[in-house]
Structure 1
Amino acid sequence: MENMMTLGAEKSLQAYVSEPAGPPKGGLVVVHEVWGLVDHTKEVADRFAAEGFLAVAPDLLSGAGGTADLSGELQEAAFDPQQRSNAQPQLRKHMAPMRSPEYAKHAVAALRMCFAHLDGVPGLAGRVAVTGFCLGGTYTFSLAVAEPRLRAAVPFYGHAEFKDAELRAISCPVLAFYGMQDTALMQELPGLKARMRAAGVDFEAVVYPGAGHAFFNETNKYTYNAGAAADSWTRTLTFLDRSLAA
């Protein structure tokens, strides 16, 4: 039976929970890609749990009118050059809920619920971090802006389109990962580095040559980069261990 739980006063948020074998050394919110709370995200949460973290991966799509798990054929078509144009109508339909004005509020509120849950676990107060991929990378930045008690943030190929005052609200160190072939994010990164520096944020960006968007997702044969995935995993664990040390 899957380790799902409900959060929120109205029990409106579903989340996958993965527990370590022993006492957790930290709490971690794991934020899914644009495809939703798919098996890959749950497996990533399990990998973090195997490393000693109590991981919570929320479903940010179902409550916003989207589909909780929309991977498989659509993900394949989105990255296959021969299928991409035919998949565009379904992709736009899938993305529409996430582009609505209320979606960001919904997503950040959901992530703060997850943070509050983990921060309330005995022994974990003050030792909660967040990581996420693609859409989840973007909302990893968002939680860092919204939650001053967060201890660390690890966004994978996410956007950070915030005002300078919002960036100054980030109080935790941020380790961000990018693929050099991810053109849009590469164009944004120099400006983001400068603005993070001006805001006084401890921000490190790691860029992998030869890798593009979604390089960490081994279920995507078009984007997965084994070298970048392995190196970013090792760096993430080291960063979290250092940031969440009691």
Structure 2
Amino acid sequence: MRSKGQTMGERIKLTSGDGFVFNAYQAAPAGTAKGAVVVIHEVWGLNNFVRIEVDRYAAAGYLAIAPALMDRVDLGYESEDYGPTGFARIGELMKEFNQATALPDVEAAIKAVAGAGKVGITGYCFGGATSWRAAHAGLGLSAASGYYGGGLLNYIDLAPQVPTEMHYAEADHGIPLEQVEALRKRYPDMGIYLYPGDHGFCNFDRADKYHAASAKLANERTLAFFAKHLA
């Protein structure tokens, strides 16, 4: 894992279908890309965690990109404040955020990397729910692997149109196990995984949430899933 500031990618601009120009972070593999991966951030925007996740997918051989979906309400927003002040700011932003803008901005990111081959999508929390919605919309995607997407039951009837898997935490009080089981019942043939730990178990910048063994296993599953469906 690289420390802060040691990223391998670059910050770029994307233009959505309505002409809105927003930020993104992109990293390319050392050799020929074997496909592309769109990484959807948590509610903290293009912070250290999501940039290093983009780099990790690039190191695995994919052209990877993370669009800054929060730019619609606060252009350039990104935060690593996981305390009360940070959560208060997130609450303010989410009151203003219009979910209708998310998928067009995701589609702009997909189009930006589609030249590398088949495109997969992944994301965390806010990004996990967005990944599910994108899998339902299609948008030129070939696979989706989402992590602890909030508002699960709000989207349960949005059946994915591409191969999809989802990852959840056993101790996530925001997404009770009953909701995960409801998802499993609705989609019995889908890979829906539970891991020890809490919401946010992949975020290595959150000592109170990170669960290394769970993150490792979930990441391995996602890479195997993309290797199968993006080939």
TM-score > 0.5 by shorter chain: yes
| Cα deviation code 1:63-83 (max 9, x no counterpart) | 223762111xx30x2xxxxxx
Q: What is the correspondence of 1:17-166 to structure 2 with a 5 Å cutoff?
A: 17-65=26-74, 68-71=77-80, 74-75=81-82, 77=83, 87=84, 91-100=87-96, 103-119=98-114, 121=115, 123-124=116-117, 127-147=118-138, 149-159=140-150, 160=152, 161-162=154-155, 164=157, 166=158
- 1:180 correspondence with 2:189: no
Q: Which moved more, 1:128-137 or 1:6-15?
A: 6-15
Does the 8 Å contact 1:28/1:131 carry over to 2? yes
Structure whose alpha-carbon radius of gyration is higher: 1
CA–CA distance in structure 1, aligned partners of residues 222 and 134 of structure 2: 17
Which residue identity lines up with residue 8 of structure 1 in the other structure? T
Determine helix, strand or coil for the equivalent of 1:236: helix
2:24 aligned with 1:15: yes
- 1:81 match: none
**1:183-202 matches, cutoff 5 A:** 183-185=173-175, 186-197=177-188, 202=189
Letter paired with 1:135: F
- Aligned CA distance change for structure 1 residues 117 and 2 (closer, same or farther; 3 Å): closer
Give deviations 1:173-197, integer Å, cap 9, x for gaps: 1111111000232231111222234
Question: Could you say which residue in structure 2 is the equivalent of 1:238?
Answer: 224
Alignment partner of 1:4 is 2:11: yes
Point out where structure 2 has 5 or more consecutive residues left out of the alignment.
1-7
Q: Could you say which structure has the higher helix fraction?
A: 1
Question: CA-atom RMSD, angstroms?
Answer: 2.0
Structure 1 partner of 2:3: none
8 Å CA contact 1:12–1:63 kept in 2: the answer is no
1:231: how far off? 0.8
Q: How far apart are the structure 2 equivalents of 1:68 and 1:2?
A: 18
Give 4+ residue runs of structure 1 displaced > 4 Å after superposition: none
Q: In structure 1, give the amino acid aligned to 2:111.
A: A
The alignment of Structure 1 onto Structure 2 pairs a total of residues equal to: 219
User: In 2 relative to 1, CA 62–11 (structure 1 residues): closer, same or farther, beyond 3 Å?
Assistant: closer
State the 1:95 CA deviation. 2.3
Deviation at 1:148, TM superposition (A): 5.2
For residues 11-65 of structure 1, what are the alpha-carbon distances to aligned partners after superposition, in whole Å with 9 as ceiling and x for unaligned? 6121101000111101110011111110111111001100000001111112223
- Contact preservation (8 Å) 1:153, 1:175: yes
Tell me the distance in 2 between the aligned counterparts of 1:50 and 1:109.
27
Q: TM-score if structure 2 supplies the norm length? A: 0.87
Alpha-carbon distance in 1 for matches of 2:195, 2:79? 27
How does the TM-score come out when normalised to structure 1? Answer: 0.82
Q: 2: CA distance between counterparts of 1:141 and 1:206?
A: 15
Q: Which residues of structure 1 form unaligned runs of 5+?
A: 78-86
The Cα shift of 1:204 comes to: 1.0
Equivalent of 1:203 in 186, 190, 207: 190
Identity of aligned residues (%): 29
1:2 deviates by: 5.9
Contact residue 9 and residue 27 of structure 2 kept, 8 A: no
